[in-house]
């Protein structure tokens, strides 16, 4: 069965729900007990899903949609004008995590799902910062941390894809089994994405 992006969003939510006894990222009612940070994207579909799946609203967690594109955030503010369980943060996520932006202090989930290709210096430069953030957040709250890393295989050959997976494993500090890497086509069908969910402390 071919996965869709929507499937992957739902799977991430199910992972948190099915492992609920092993972390403190959800409260006893199954609502978010931490902030869910994600590249917002047009109309922030993950925020809608968190509402639909009743992880929000919550007293202890929000959706924080980050995007470099101001127009994208405008679509989110318009769509969700009456639902106040999200924050919209304009900027590049990488410097925000490097500089410890206070808006991200309560993050327990980070979804970095970018068109960024899994090759070259650019992704190699970003990975250490995202992993540092995941580790810091895990150490700070002691609640566990979920890091979803989802990048594009556009122009990425087998050798480069292997190299990318090795880099991720090195940063994570352990082997990631093949089954924990998922690939699915982009909406246009022209490219593929490569996703893995990395759990810290659970
Ligand atoms: C693939 S979409 C996000 C999809 C969304 N999370 C979803 O589930 O559909 C990528 C979005 O992230 C933004 N983006 C890409 N890299 C970014 C970065 N480093 N910092 C902030 N925003 C970024 C782009 O402007 C784009 O709107």
pTM score, whole prediction: 0.97
Domain range list for the chain: 5-200
Query: Atom 12 of ligand 1 has which residue's CA nearest to it?
Result: 39
Q: How far is CA 58 from the centre of its chain?
A: 19
Query: Atom 1 of ligand 1 has which residue's CA nearest to it?
Result: 114
Residue 134: exposure state from Cβ atoms within 10 A (0-12, 13-18, ≥19): buried
Q: Who lines ligand 1 at CB under 6 A?
A: 9, 38-39, 41, 45-46, 66-69, 72, 92-94, 113-115
Which tens digits make up the pLDDT trace of 116-152?
A: 999 989 899 999 999 999 999 999 989 999 999 999 9
Q: What percent of the chain has a predicted confidence (pLDDT) above 70?
A: 100
Of the candidates 124, 112, 116, 121, which has an alpha carbon nearest to the alpha carbon of residue 166? 124
Has domain 5-200 been given CATH number 1.10.630.10? no
């Amino acid at each position: 069965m071919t996965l869709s992006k929507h499937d992957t969003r739902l799977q991430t939510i199910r992972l948190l729900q099915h492992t609920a006894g092993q972390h403190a990222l959800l409260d006893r009612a199954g609502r978010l007990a931490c902030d869910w940070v994600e590249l917002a994207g047009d109309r922030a579909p993950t925020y809608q899903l968190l509402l639909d799946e009743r992880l929000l609203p919550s007293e202890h967690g929000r959706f924080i949609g980050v995007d470099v594109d101001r127009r994208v955030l405008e679509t989110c503010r318009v769509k969700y004008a009456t639902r106040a369980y999200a924050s919209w943060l304009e900027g590049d996520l990488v410097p925000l995590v490097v500089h410890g932006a206070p808006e991200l202090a309560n993050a327990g989930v980070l979804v970095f799902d970018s068109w960024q290709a899994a090759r070259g210096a650019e992704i190699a430069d970003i990975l250490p910062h995202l992993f540092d953030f995941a580790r810091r957040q895990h150490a700070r709250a002691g609640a566990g941390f979920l890091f979803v890393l989802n990048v594009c295989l556009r122009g990425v050959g087998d050798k480069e894809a292997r190299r990318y997976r090795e880099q991720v494993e090195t940063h994570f500090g352990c082997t990631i089994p093949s089954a924990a890497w998922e690939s699915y086509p982009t909406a246009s069908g022209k490219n593929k994405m490569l996703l893995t969910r990395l759990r810290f402390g659970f």
